[in-house]
Amino acid sequence: MNNDQKENIALITGANAGIGLELTRRLLTQGWQVVAMNRSDFPADDKRIQDAVKEGRLRVYPTVDLADYASLRRTLETIKSKEQRLDILFNNAGGSFPELSYSQQGRERHYELMTVVPFIILMELIDLLRNGRLKTVINTSSSALKFTRELSIETLEQPKTFRKLLGPYAASKLALSLWTQAIAPQLAMDGIKIRSVDPGGNNTLRKGKPSGLPLFVEPLMKLFFPPPSHGADKLYDGALGIHSKKTGVFVQKGQIAAIKFENQAQPILARINEIYKHEFLLRDF
């Protein structure tokens, strides 16, 4: 494994498609090493990607399902045994689901995948971040969070209603940005900075895969939304741009933006920390 101390190393979840793939391509082009946690393979016809895999600059750690704690633990243990440091952690994996569904742990799936799991990944890989130079965490959020009208731990975990994009998806992204804000002072003691970043609207539709988007959004996305490289640029700038010294903030359109329900930030952080300690760490898979 090539782990040249002169090169920066980023871990990206969901690196094999959409925004994550474009971010992977950009970082590799700029001489970074990339650690990827993916459910699916990278495109076989992408020579630059496949060459990076062969050269060890792109190291892939397959994960059957990030929301499946047994699979997630196996992948994280492998990463910890093989990697020495991380400069940036991009918690990017996610997506909008077409109907209400639940994880194996019994919680609403958007919330599990996009609120709880990024916290678990951070906690498990925090020693690698401490060993890195940039010590930065970027959580992929969304402008959809502003449409959330009600927020509580109960509605996050067991929602009574479901709306595509503007229901559990938006609430889960808001909860992600809230715990990002709440945990920042704790991470700062280790010199780690954390931000949530809205990658903006991107055409991330994938042929043959349900989008989980309202019907009227899909044609608009096809016609008017920029390609996923736009979102990759937003995440890259969120990590290394003008706000790189800030922590705990939500970055939208290149600016620090306010988020709603700040009174829920600490309760959400306490709840996901409880899940991490009592379900992920103590459960015998």
- Written as one string, the DSSP assignment of 28-96 is HHTT-EEEEEESSPPPTT-HHHHHHHHHTSEEEEE-S-TTSHHHHHHHHHHHHHH----SEEEE-----
What's the Cα-to-Cα distance from 121 to each of 89, 176, 259, rounded to whole Å? 9, 13, 23
pLDDT for residue 18 is more than 90: yes
Enclosing domain of residue 37: 9-280
CATH classification at residue 64: 3.40.50.720
Does residue 285 lie in a domain region? no
pLDDT digits (tens, 9 = 90+) for 100-112: 999 999 999 999 9
* Number of Cβ atoms within 10 Å of the Cβ of 263: 9
Does residue 250 lie in a domain region? yes
pLDDT for residue 1 is more than 50: no
pTM of the model: 0.94
Helix/strand/coil for 136:
strand
Residue reference for tokens 């650690």: 35
Does residue 149 lie in a domain region? yes
What strands, in cross-sheet order, belong to the sheet with 255-257?
A: 58-62, 33-38, 9-13, 88-91, 136-140, 193-197, 250-252, 255-257
pLDDT digits (tens, 9 = 90+) for 142-154: 999 999 999 999 9
Residue reference for tokens 């994960």: 63
- Segment 51-80 shows an average pLDDT of 95
How many distinct structural domains can be found in the chain?
A: 1
Does residue 3 lie in a domain region? no
